Copies of this chain bind each other. A is one copy, B any other.
Amino acid sequence: MRNETLDLPRRMLMGPGPSEVHPRVLAALSRPTLGHLDPAFVRLMDDIVHRLRTTFQTNNQLTFPVSAPGSAGMECCFVNLLEPGDSVIVCINGVFGMRMKENVERCGATPIVVEDAWGTAVDPAKLRAALKANPAVKTVAFVHAETSTGVQSDAAALCAVAREFGALTIVDTVTSLGGIDVNVGAWEADAVYSGSQKCLSCPPGLSPVTFSERAAARVKERRTKVQSWFLDLSLVMGYWGDGKGGGRTYHHTAPVNALYGLHEALLMLHEEGLEQAWRRHSLTHRALVAGVEAMGLKMKVDAAVRLPQLNLVEIPEGADDATIRRRLLNEFNLEIGSGLGIWAGKVWRIGLLGQSATPAYVLACLTALEAVLHASGARITAGRAYAAAHAVLNS
């Protein structure tokens, strides 16, 4: 043990999350702690709930941040909506779909997998076929923005197919919320979770969730208790309230300072405007792609399905994955992400999430990557990335 206060480096966070946290949000984290039932804190909770509804584009009453990271938000959706013996269609096109399947199994339910290849979107036609073949299915789960592949699926279309068959939907928007259009109201999605550390640009540790009235009704009609006391919606909502200023019941002690940070981050997002934030993500994404391609590197997935906020770049011949990432980290204080699962060692994941989606970060990333790759003897075209990205940013 070192008997000293932390001496931490200052990184540029351009991996798959956490993303850059703005000094305003960092400052909010360090406000004096209030009691979790203090009237001043309860007002803040109400404001967070309103702002999350705005961000998810929904009027869902049951909207709040789970007091734990995105994986717990995922689990919150599954343990509340499923009961043992249920059949659930899980659409898998990457790591986080696989994690959904794990959740289904651990609820004692039976997953029916609709699989699409890594790097492709979930296919609504396959989902329809699976629903036709399995009339007992009451729940469909899919990932809107696959963090392992950088692919977005058509959430509106998938929710519409599920609705045709009377199935409720569980939708992972961990990486999408705040970066691209997440319209829970228009999609009529039923249980949706996200994370604080992606396009909302908070530190990790909170998972915003929202549940439709259909989802709330299903929770009320459960024959069995929710297997998690901590994540039981019927109990958690006694604390987060009915949205009408009703009384608060102690459930667990909320992570007060983390919620200060979430509030400030949502405030900043709304000051900018949701649509302006999406445009910023799109612009910086196009600039990054222009620079990457000007170097002769290849984007891993088709332009039609790319997430602007998470860019998968193929590792070029002659470049060693770990060495390049280590040099970027040690020499430039720049973090980019490694590949996950079957794509480990084959791609880098460059995040333009939330506050990391800025022209300065794009240019710094491109020039650092170019320099390190060039010096390592990788086969790239040097000297063109900056101008290519610059042209897009000024277009």
Contacts and interface: CB of A to CB of B under 8 A. Distances in A.
A245 to B, nearest CB: 14
B1 A50 contact: yes
Contacts of A116: none
A102 to B, nearest CB: 5
Interface stretch (A213-221, A253-261, A291-299, A364-372): A253-261
A390 to B, nearest CB: 27
Interface string A1-31: 1111110111101010110110010111111
Tell me the number of copies of this protein: 2
A329 B204 contact: no
A379 interface: no
A18 B253 contact: yes
A11 B32 contact: yes
Interface in A267-284: 267, 270-271
A69 B6 contact: no
25 contacts: A1-B51, A8-B34, A8-B40, A10-B32, A13-B35, A20-B33, A26-B29, A26-B30, A26-B31, A26-B33, A33-B204, A36-B204, A38-B335, A39-B329, A67-B68, A68-B230, A69-B252, A71-B251, A72-B72, A75-B228, A75-B229, A195-B253, A203-B255, A205-B258, A228-B228
Nearest to A198: B253
A248 interface: no
Contact of A227 (B17, B54, B71, B227): B227
Interface in A30-75: 30-36, 38-41, 44, 47, 50-51, 54, 67-72, 74-75
A203 B31 CA distance: 11
B6 A99 contact: no
A255 B21 contact: no
Given A1-B47, A5-B267, A267-B3, A99 B203 contact: no
A103 interface: yes
A190 interface: no
Contacts of A21: 32-33, 257
Nearest to A201: B33
A20 B36 CA distance: 13
Contacts of A252: 69-72
Contacts of A340: 250
B6 A264 contact: yes
A197 interface: yes
Contacts of A28: 5-6
Contacts of A9: 34, 38, 40
